A = this chain, B = another copy of it.
Amino acid sequence: MSSSHAPSSPGTLSYEQAGVNYDLIDPLKVTAQRAAAATAGHLAAHGFTEVVASRGESAYVVDVGPFYIASIVECLGSKALVADEMATLTGRPWYAGIAQDTIAMAVNDLITVGATPLVVQAYWAAGGSDWFGDAARAQSLVAGWKAACEVCKVAWGGGETPALAGIVEAGRIDLAASCTGLINPKERLSVGDRLAAGDAIVLLDSSGIHANGLSLARKLLERLPGGWLTEIDPAGHPGLSYGEALLAPTVLYSPVTEALWAAGIVPHYCANITGHGWRKLLRHPGAFTYRIHTVPPVPPVLKFIQQQAQQDDREAYSTLNMGAGFAIFVPADQAERTVAIAQGLGIGARVAGQVEAGPRQLLIEPLGIRFGDDDLQLR
């Protein structure tokens, strides 16, 4: 969704070099966003209105009177290709984690606007009917999908399982999830208007690469003689292969946002840290400076990718989550409670910095990195 990119150095493997060219996607995206915005008036025919500020946020929000409805569709991306490789190498299916990743892509975006996810729909488009004939793999996908629904307390409403030979590659599957939720009561709406100087930035730990940066991670294989089974951290995590580490499922953050609400904490803003890495902390359109004083530990797999791709910190933090999967902006006096609530749910968290009045920029002080207004253009 970005129209600007971090610069690359010689020898460095950047995200664009890994095969995703945003310059081709972005004009279409801008045209589509404008066309989409022009359809908002149709809601008036039904007595409803859109929440205009949700355009440009991670989920679309409609005011239906007693509460808001939020909805979204999200793609897994290319992570399933790693699962396929690892299945060949290990003889077991890896789709339970892939299912969790897919649901996380939708749920973690939906909750940024203050929504409680209620219903998930499955979109599993295979390259042919035979994809579903591998019973162990299919059962793994189903079991993982169900388990992720349990964590998020959402109902799995149904979905589509088309066989799309000629569109999806043979032996592959295109996975996506749609999610519908409610912002209820309406005070939970979080589309940016509450963010203020003085707010604390709480970062929730990621479990690894999650599902963004996989094109880069796969491209890197060219540089690894040991391939997917390369040990990424023989001293710290003996036996942990690159493939297995990449396949750590994305953390589902909705239990945290629900627990915050139950504890009386209403975030002023949230950002799901996906594509574009830490630049997503600049998601809010306002003129604020985000000053980071503490960075989370970098998961071994991300440290490994950074080293192998010869990325400096600026490039790595501009592309990968580097240990921070989700950002919650709360009043400073609620920051420590926010951390404690996340930790009580088994999700690492820390107060990482604060919001200040000033030019729109992110300052990662421990690393001497600055991302400015030009580094993220999502709208």
Contact = CB atoms under 8 A, between A and B. Distances in A.
Contacts of A234: none
A32 B122 contact: yes
A172 interface: yes
Contact of A180 (B45, B69, B164): B69
Given A22-B129, A74-B160, A119-B60, A172 B166 contact: yes
A150 to B, nearest CB: 7
13 contacts: A20-B129, A24-B130, A35-B146, A39-B149, A62-B118, A71-B180, A72-B158, A73-B123, A73-B178, A75-B123, A78-B167, A123-B176, A168-B168
Given A40-B155, A43-B118, A65-B66, A167 B174 contact: yes
Contacts of A153: 42, 45-46
A46 B168 contact: no
Interface string A111-143: 000001011011101001110110100110011
Given A39-B150, A167-B168, A169-B168, A24 B160 contact: no
Contacts of A180: 69, 71, 180
Contacts of A161: 25, 28-29, 32
A158 to B, nearest CB: 5
Nearest to A138: B28
A238 interface: no
B119 A178 contact: no
A167 B164 contact: no
Q: How many copies does the complex hold?
A: 2
A76 to B, nearest CB: 9
A33 B145 CA distance: 12
A158 B20 contact: no
Given A38-B146, A78-B164, 18 more contacts: A21-B129, A24-B129, A25-B161, A31-B138, A33-B158, A35-B142, A35-B143, A42-B155, A46-B118, A50-B155, A62-B118, A73-B159, A75-B160, A77-B164, A125-B174, A125-B176, A164-B174, A166-B218
B72 A164 contact: no
Contacts of A146: 35-36, 38-39
B28 A155 contact: no
Contacts of A60: 119, 121, 155, 157-158
A36 B155 CA distance: 7
A154 interface: yes
Contacts of A118: 43, 46, 48, 62, 64, 69
A162 interface: yes
A35 B156 contact: yes
Contact of A154 (B39, B155, B173): B39
A67 B62 CA distance: 15
Given A46-B118, A174-B174, A176-B176, A166 B81 contact: yes
A28 B165 CA distance: 18
A91 interface: no
Interface in A172-187: 172-174, 176, 178, 180, 182
A355 to B, nearest CB: 26
Contact of A42 (B71, B73, B150, B165): B150
